[in-house]
A and B are shown apart, each in its own frame.
Chain A
């Protein structure tokens, strides 16, 4: 059966990442947390100036998953990075989960309590986040 592949307990950048990890564990889908760093821009000397590390890699599915935060500016930045990533590495598959996707997932699982906690931390009302 599938098992968590990341050694120990990773330090997640956001509660929603920890929650997604719990969901993947629950459904026995193997995952790694930020296992790969993809350079996406270089300076004139050829040094990497910007990289993108998708939050999760699901090796059995061969899929990277990236979760966005609730902040609109960060969503735009992430969308731009993702476009570059897809152009530079067309062979990799990345799924971007916006806050609205994650919220809908929580709604489906009846985890409105979790959403309320996250919303309170972010100063937003439940399920009322900006669109990408």
Chain B
């Protein structure tokens, strides 16, 4: 069972549900009458996005992007690439980037530069998890679910080697799964 690989539950299903509802209500209030576009980054954010938009009661659009990750792409171009671009223009639109987790901020830093060039009316950031310990790129987060310690987390969309996305909670991966006897804290 996938639950056996979880060392500790960091955020329960109920805690996440409550916070996502609060974020949805806040976004609904702030973007009322502005018809925002929520842009989510595949794949980790999909479950958060699905729950977040259902917690919002205003007209909105959803779009998805996918950006290559360092480890998976080191053999190819050596530079980050857009694997899936926006399906519609965002010029003049109010855009909220929905992220599952912000760690170093390098991916989001690249993505924000890319999206700014598309001329949105505004560009906000909503993330479920903020892990500031290793932040390199300065990211101004407008809507934050939880600030978490520097642990390797899985579940609720977040994976390790493409697994554990279906856990209903956020958990800390047992170090033995990735071959260590102690957590990298």
Find out whether the CB atom of B180 lies under 8 angstroms from the CB atom of A58: no
A6 is an interface residue with CB less than 8 A from chain B: no
B-side residues, CB < 8 A to A, are 69-74, 78-80, 103-104, 106-107, 109-110, 133-138, 150, 152, 161, 175, 178-182, 184-185
By beta carbon, the residue of chain B nearest A56 is B136
Write out the residue numbers on chain A whose beta carbons fall within 8 Å of the beta carbon of B135: 95
Q: Which of A27, A103, A105, A128 has the most CB of B within 10 A?
A: A27
Find out whether the CB atom of A63 lies under 8 angstroms from the CB atom of B136: yes
Write out the residue numbers on chain B whose beta carbons fall within 8 Å of the beta carbon of A125: 180-181
Write out the residue numbers on chain A whose beta carbons fall within 8 Å of the beta carbon of B185: 100, 104, 131
Write out the residue numbers on chain A whose beta carbons fall within 8 Å of the beta carbon of B150: 101, 104
Write out the residue numbers on chain B whose beta carbons fall within 8 Å of the beta carbon of A28: 79-80, 110
Find out whether the CB atom of A26 lies under 8 angstroms from the CB atom of B70: yes
In the assembly, what is the distance between CA of A108 and CA of B161, in Å? 9
Find out whether the CB atom of A128 lies under 8 angstroms from the CB atom of B180: yes
Find out whether the CB atom of A105 lies under 8 angstroms from the CB atom of B181: no
Q: How many positions in chain A have a CB within 8 Å of any CB in the partner chain?
A: 30
Q: Interface majority SS on B: helix, strand, loop or mixed?
A: loop
Q: In the complex where A23-B70, A111-B71 touch, is A29 in contact with B184 (Cβ < 8 A)?
A: no
Name the distance in Å between A93's Cβ and chain B's nearest Cβ.
9
Find out whether the CB atom of B70 lies under 8 angstroms from the CB atom of A107: no
Which of B103, B106, B179 lies in contact with A112, CB distance below 8 A? B179
Write out the residue numbers on chain A whose beta carbons fall within 8 Å of the beta carbon of B70: 22-23, 26-27, 109, 111
5 A-B Cβ contacts within 8 A?
Answer: A61-B136, A95-B135, A100-B185, A104-B150, A112-B178
Q: In the complex where A127-B180, A128-B182 touch, is A105 in contact with B152 (Cβ < 8 A)?
A: no
Q: Which of A23, A24, A26, A110 has the most CB of B within 10 A?
A: A26
Query: What are the 4 A-B residue pairs with the smallest beta carbon separation, nearest first?
Result: A109-B71, A127-B180, A110-B71, A27-B106
Name the distance in Å between A18's Cβ and chain B's nearest Cβ.
12
Name the distance in Å between B96's Cβ and chain A's nearest Cβ.
22
Write out the residue numbers on chain B whose beta carbons fall within 8 Å of the beta carbon of A58: 136
Find out whether the CB atom of A127 lies under 8 angstroms from the CB atom of B175: yes
A97 is an interface residue with CB less than 8 A from chain B: yes
Write out the residue numbers on chain B whose beta carbons fall within 8 Å of the beta carbon of A107: 152, 178, 184
